Amino acid sequence: MVPGLEHKSAILGLVSGEILHGLGHRAEGLLQIEQNTNFLLSVFEDKKRYVHGRLIYAKLLINDHRIKEALEVFVSTADVAEELQDKELKAFILNNAGICYKHLGKWEKAKQCVETALAIFQELGLKTDAVRSRFELINLLTAEGRYNEAINQLFMNQNAFFALGLPVDAALVGLAIVEILPLAGRASDVPPRCKWMIDTFTKAGLHRRAMEALGHLNHVAQDRGRLAPDDVESVRVVLNSIRSAGSEEALDI
C-alpha cells in the first residue's frame, strides 16, 4: 500500500473506531482508536494526529464513566501538545483534565487546570472556548460555596454572549445569576436584576415568548421580593425551547 494511503487509512481508523464505540462495540472501538493512534505516532511521527486520536479516546472513556483513565490520557497527552507548541490544544487538554479532576473530587487541581485553560483561551481571543471554560470554573466556584466569585464569572459570560449576538444564551445566564444571588446573601438584588433583564433584553430584541416569560418573572420578583425555584425553571424551559428551535445560533456548552 502507498504510504500516503496508509496514513489516510490510520486517520479513518480513528473515525471508524469512534463509530464502533457509538454503536455499542465499545471495547472494539477503543482498541481500534488506540492501534491507529499509536500507528500515526510510531510510523508517521504525526504528533498532531496522534494527539487528536488520544483526545477521541479520552472522550469515549469519559462517556463510559472511566474518568480516572481519561484523566491519565489527558495528562500524558499534554506533554505532546507542549512539544507541538500548540497553545489552543494545550488549553483544550487542560480544560478537559480539569473536568476529570472535578468528577474525581479534586477541586483545587480542577480549578488550576480550568483557570489556566481559560487564561490561554482569552489570550488567543477564542471567545466561545473561553465561555465554555468559564462555565466549568463557575461550577467549581459554586461547589465550593464561593458564590460571589461565581456571580462575577457569570456576568463575564453574559457579556460575552451579548458580544456574540446570542441574547437567549445571555438570558439563560441571567436566570443563573438571580438563582445564585440569594446564596451569596444578596437576595435584595434579585428584584432589581429582574427589572434590569426586562430593560436590557427588550433592547436586545429577545424573542417575544421569552420576553413574556421574563415579564412574568419580573412581576413575581417585584411583588414577592423573591423567586421560587419553579418560577425560574419555567422561564428556563421557555428559553431552552426557543434555543432548541433555532431562533438563534445557540452555543453548545
How much is the pLDDT for 79?
87
Domain assignment present for 72: no
Cα–Cα distance for residue pair 206/197, rounded to 1 Å: 10
Where do we find the cell 500516503? 4
Q: What is the C-alpha separation between 30 and 232, in angstroms, rounded?
A: 41
User: pLDDT (tens digit, 9 = 90+) per residue, 53-105?
Assistant: 999 999 999 999 999 999 999 999 998 988 999 999 999 999 999 999 999 99
Can you say how many angstroms the Cα of residue 90 is from the centroid of all Cα atoms in its chain? 16
Backbone angles phi, psi at 23, to 5 degrees: -85, 0
Residue 110 CB burial class (10 angstroms; 0-12, 13-18, ≥19)? buried
C-alpha cell of 194? 429582574
How would DSSP label each residue in 164-220?
TT-HHHHHHHHHHHHHHTGGGT-GGGHHHHHHHHHHHHHHTT--HHHHHHHHHHHHH
- Quick check: is 149 in a domain? yes
Is residue 34 domain-resident? no
Q: What integer pLDDT is reported at residue 5 of this predicted model?
A: 87
* C-alpha distance from residue 147 to each of 9, 73, 142, 194 (Å): 50, 32, 6, 19
Range of the domain at 245: 145-253
Residue 163, in any domain of the structure? yes
What total number of domains does the chain contain? Answer: 1
In a domain, 35, yes or no: no
Does residue 59 belong to any structural domain of this protein?
Answer: no
- With respect to residue 227, please indicate whether it lies within any of the assigned structural domains: yes
What's the pLDDT tens digit per position in 169-218?
999 999 999 999 999 999 999 999 999 999 999 999 999 999 999 999 99
pLDDT at 3: 58
pTM: predicted TM-score of the whole model, two decimal places:
0.86
Once rounded to an integer, what is the mean pLDDT over residues 156-168? 96
Say if 217 falls within a structural domain: yes
pLDDT over 70 at 253, yes or no: no
Q: What's residue 73's pLDDT?
A: 96
Q: Above pLDDT 90, what percent of the chain?
A: 89
